[in-house]
Amino acid sequence: MTDGSSLKLIFLALLLVSQHSFQQEQEEALKEPEEQEEVYEEEPDISERGLAKHLLADYYQYTRPVKNFSKVLNVTVQPQIYNLVEVSWQDDYLTWDPVDWGGIKKINIPISQIWIPDGYIFNTVEMTEPLTNHNARVSNDGRVEVDFNKLVDLTCPMSVLSFPFDVQLCSLQFGSWSYQAHEISFNVLDTFVPKQGKNSEWDIISFKAEKIVTKYENTLGGFNEYEEIFYKLELRRKPLYYIVVILLPTFLIVTVSNVGLFTPHGVHGDREEHVSLGLTTMLTMAVILDMVTGQMPRSSEGIPLLGLYVLIEFVISVIAVLVSVVIIFAHERMVYLEATPPRWLYKFFNENDFGEEFDEDMNVKSHELVQELKFCMEEIRKYLDDQAELLYGNFKETIMARYAK
């Protein structure tokens, strides 16, 4: 019995010793991770990489970055003329203390990793974004800034009645596609118009912004309110090209042609060649009108100012040619048929003295012309008589010579 009991005691003692050693090993195994965590916490990664991992560890990019649901998120938008839109907002989940992160106050984070407002230009025909994978500038206070590089083709109704001295007003409608006015509010800043990089055809007069709240009826019988910004761009065309190439040549051609049409060609005032000059001018104006038609923008509002100007010049040329033809017929009647101008023409000028002088002048010219015609007829008659006498003498000599034989 004594030997059996001693063996049991020894066995129990060995069992207790093995359990104690096993518990110590487990405690040491549990302490090792804690020591490793303590070592890791003692030496944190205070680089931009560590800060970005810290900010994005529990970040959710599919909802508004506000901790209070009733808070309205303010988004500031400032577009520029040449394909750049600056957007900034406050993100409550992207904040940190620069003291804890080695004085880092601003980092760059890819826009694909954070929440971005869904601002959209509604009246676009085509919109391209050359740079898509770019970064957002995030400050330690949660301020996020993003520069969007966009090339936008807009629908802009144009009024060309004053072409080429027209001024056009284009409107750009910008707003959130899905967030309503109680969720996102836009801050309107003064638009930026660069002084360099001017356009060769247009001058930018103004670029202003106006914010309004628009209600749209939904399918449930209610209304959805959205904030929208209307950017109004006022442009003025540069008319120098059209003035030098079309306006001045047209004016000079028509002016010189009209002066030539009503300038006497000879001493007796013959004008037959002037008609061909007028017809040539009309042909030139027709060519210019065809060229202007290709240069002018097409519109159903009416004829642009440039086209109306060229058309009026063409009508002036036609009227000048018709007047020149009438003057030619009247001149022929008064000179060769001894016709006098009608009395109503004297009354139109309301000058009797002028009419009397004109009658005397026409009578003198008619008398001189008649005398010249009489002198010519007398010379012709004398020449014919001399030729007749000469022929008669020759005939008489021939007959006498035959009878003499």
| Cα distances (angstroms) measured from residue 153 to each of 51, 128, 150, 156, 208 | 40, 9, 10, 9, 19
Tokens 């100012």 sit on residue: 305
- pLDDT of the residue at 291: 77
CA-closest candidate to residue 157, choices 306, 307, 301: 301
Do the beta carbons of residue 213 and residue 268 sit within 8 Å? no
Q: What is the pLDDT along the chain (405 residues), one digit of tens a residue?
A: 445 555 555 555 555 555 555 556 656 655 555 444 444 444 567 888 999 999 999 999 999 999 998 999 999 998 877 667 889 999 999 999 999 998 999 999 999 999 999 988 888 888 887 777 889 999 999 999 999 888 888 888 888 889 889 999 998 889 999 999 999 999 988 777 766 667 788 888 888 889 999 999 988 888 999 999 998 989 999 999 889 888 888 888 888 888 877 776 554 555 556 667 777 877 887 787 777 777 777 777 888 898 888 889 888 888 888 887 887 777 777 766 666 667 776 666 665 554 555 555 556 555 666 677 777 788 888 888 787 777 777 767 777 776 665
| Cα distances (angstroms) measured from residue 34 to each of 30, 44, 107, 279, 305 | 7, 15, 32, 106, 86
- pLDDT of the residue at 160: 85
| Cα distances (angstroms) measured from residue 304 to each of 276, 292, 314 | 30, 10, 15
Class of residue 376 by CB neighbours under 10 A (exposed 0-12, middle 13-18, buried 19+): exposed
- pLDDT of the residue at 324: 79
Map residue 307 onto helix, strand or coil.
helix
Indicate the pTM of the whole model: 0.62
CA-closest candidate to residue 190, choices 231, 149, 228, 152: 231
- pLDDT of the residue at 295: 74
DSSP 165: S
Cis peptide before 264 (omega within 30 of 0): no
Which residues share a beta bridge with 168? 235
- pLDDT of the residue at 13: 54
- pLDDT of the residue at 18: 57
